[in-house]
Structure 1
Amino acid sequence: MKDILHLSHANGFPGGSYDTIASFLAPHYDVRHTDRFGHNPLFPVTDNWPHLERELIHYFETQYQQPVIAVGHSLGGVLSMMVAFKRPDLVKAFVMLDSPLLTTVQARGLQFAKRFGLIERFMPIRRTEERRTEWASFDEAMDYFRGKTLMKRFDERCLMDYVKAGTEPFEGGLRLRFNPEIEASIWRSIPHTLRPIHNLMVPGAVIGGRDSDIFRRVNGAHMQSRLNMKVRWLPGGHMFPFEHPEDTAEQIHQLLREMLG
């Protein structure tokens, strides 16, 4: 029987956005995903994401009868690590994709930025709140997102995955499924409190984008030295899983073979 591999998404990118990556992992794992964090009123977005952590724990508890491999991109990677710390009985191993564990200096700087309203200078909050949310057709939505700086290097299959997963029919056209207000709230409440209070009880790894402005070399070194996590790098920035889906899947599989045998 295949291990269950659960994919948790980045902020603003519903789980189906990773379908191409999942297709490369499917020969080895039973791949599942979270659709949208933060949209269930039972698990609201609050500072440092405790309810989003509870949302992932609840999903693992209710949907699976065995520990799972938790793979997460950005937001999803942080939540996967949080669950691995709090409930290692639910996680067999985890792999984070461009998700940093902050150093002490970075965490204090983030706390300061949040406290004094400076967080919008460092996170794409205003751009999120002003994002267009409706299109006349699928092709129009594809053209719109293809022209966005964040997505201009996406593999065409991944861009199509995102538009399929990220929009829904609405009055003869399409509208965005991931609420921009919720996405902005997630950015504003990004955890500054995540600290390794003990050693990891399950194997963990992180893959960073070589040109990422989110996951830096200092974060990789910190996670390797503090938590004995495996650290790998792939070409691309913070969105490298969508830019290099096959390489991302191959690296995930390789890391899991190293950690789990």
Structure 2
Amino acid sequence: MDAALLSPPRRLRVPIDNRWGAGEMAVLDFGDPARPVDLIFVHANGFNAATYRCLLSPLASSLRIWAPDLRGHGRSSLPIFAQPKTNWRDHRDDLLGLLAKLDGPPAVLAGHSMGGTASLLAAAVAPSRVSSLVLFDPVIWKRSSTLMFNLPLAARLLAGAPISRAALRRRRLFDSREQALAAYRGRGVFKGWPDAVLADYLSDGLTETPDGLSLSAAPEWEAANYAAQAHDPWRALRRYGGPVRILKAERGALTSLSPHPRGLPNVTVEVVPGGGHLFPMTHPDVARDALFEAAV
């Protein structure tokens, strides 16, 4: 078996300094460190880069992959709530800082859910650094909803949405990782997840504290991200001219684009049969094939 598959990803600390506050972004570095970065993969809200280790590790024999922990997630030390949270431009700007660290050719930028949308927003600002986009059920509301979410005070209204309230109710402390694994296995959003993927999520999703193991992504920050929708992915789609491949969930999709979106000839949209919003965890082969095809 290839050594890249046997070796765990390296852990990098990448300095980021922008208007949202300075700190370090934690990055998992898969594959041959001597080659340029081929692919950057960005996780969904509330999760972390390690959650996708089973998805990304098999690609490490052919590709070098960076998987960052977004601000407020995993092992990143970037401050949160430095400014009122109304949109995902903080994640966009952090990804722009990460893209600026690349010393090779443009890379594929990919992501899941919020990570996909943040990747799209970043690519629209720095298209010369992104060879193509691969987005797994990115959060792209209908155009009318996007306009509404950009109105003043929209974030306050969205803070009362069921998904935001549910995030605030998440259990915060566990006595052990085994306890957390037992609490999550087969329940809620984790239904259908293999134990290995759930264990990977918990590896960086829990942080040791004097009171026990605490969620790395604070429930308040996760809820704030759900409520912060005052950005415009439709404008970003128009601005980024490179290839955009979107894989959309068949059930509970958060992507409102049709298979042939009008006025966006560079965008393709495919539905993942049987896949829900978290299909990268439950249907990893589909997601992995899309990443490989874009990066080779």
TM over 0.5: yes
- Alignment match of 1:206 (pick from 235, 246, 258): 246
Equivalent in the alignment of 1:27: 61
Equivalent in the alignment of 1:244: 283
Tell which has more relative contact order, 1 or 2 (C-alpha 8 A, sep 6+): 1
Aligned residues of 1:24 and 1:246 also touching (Cα < 8 A): no
Equivalent in the alignment of 1:195: 234
**Which residue identity does 1:41 align to in structure 2?**
P
Relative to the length of structure 2, the TM-score reads: 0.76
CA distance in structure 1 between the aligned counterparts of 2:262 and 2:59, rounded to whole angstroms:
25
Q: State the Cα distance separating 1:89 from its structure 2 match.
A: 1.5
Gaps of 5+ in 2: 1-34
Equivalent in the alignment of 2:28: none
CA distance in structure 2 between the aligned counterparts of 1:109 and 1:139, rounded to whole angstroms:
43
Question: How do 1:131-170 and structure 2 match up within 5 A?
Answer: 131-170=170-209
Aligned residues of 1:207 and 1:231 also touching (Cα < 8 A): yes
Aligned residues of 1:155 and 1:244 also touching (Cα < 8 A): no
Aligned residues of 2:43 and 2:49 also touching (Cα < 8 A): yes
- Alignment match of 2:142 (pick from 103, 121, 126): 103
Over 3 Å counting, the alpha-carbon distance change for 1:220 and 1:28 in structure 2 is: farther
SS of equivalent to 1:196: helix
Aligned residues of 1:101 and 1:223 also touching (Cα < 8 A): no
Equivalent in the alignment of 2:255: 215
Q: State the Cα distance separating 1:178 from its structure 2 match.
A: 1.0
Over 3 Å counting, the alpha-carbon distance change for 1:114 and 1:251 in structure 2 is: farther
**Equivalences, count:** 255
Aligned residues of 1:205 and 1:231 also touching (Cα < 8 A): yes
Aligned residues of 2:259 and 2:270 also touching (Cα < 8 A): no
**Higher relative helix content:** 1
- Work out whether 1:54 is the aligned partner of 2:93: yes
Q: State the Cα distance separating 1:224 from its structure 2 match.
A: 6.5
Q: State the Cα distance separating 1:142 from its structure 2 match.
A: 0.4
**Which segment drifts farther, 19-28 or 195-204?**
195-204
Equivalent in the alignment of 2:123: 84
CA distance in structure 2 between the aligned counterparts of 1:71 and 1:180, rounded to whole angstroms:
25
Aligned residues of 1:45 and 1:182 also touching (Cα < 8 A): no
- Work out whether 1:127 is the aligned partner of 2:134: no
**Which residue identity does 2:266 align to in structure 1?**
N
Equivalent in the alignment of 1:69: 108
Equivalent in the alignment of 2:11: none
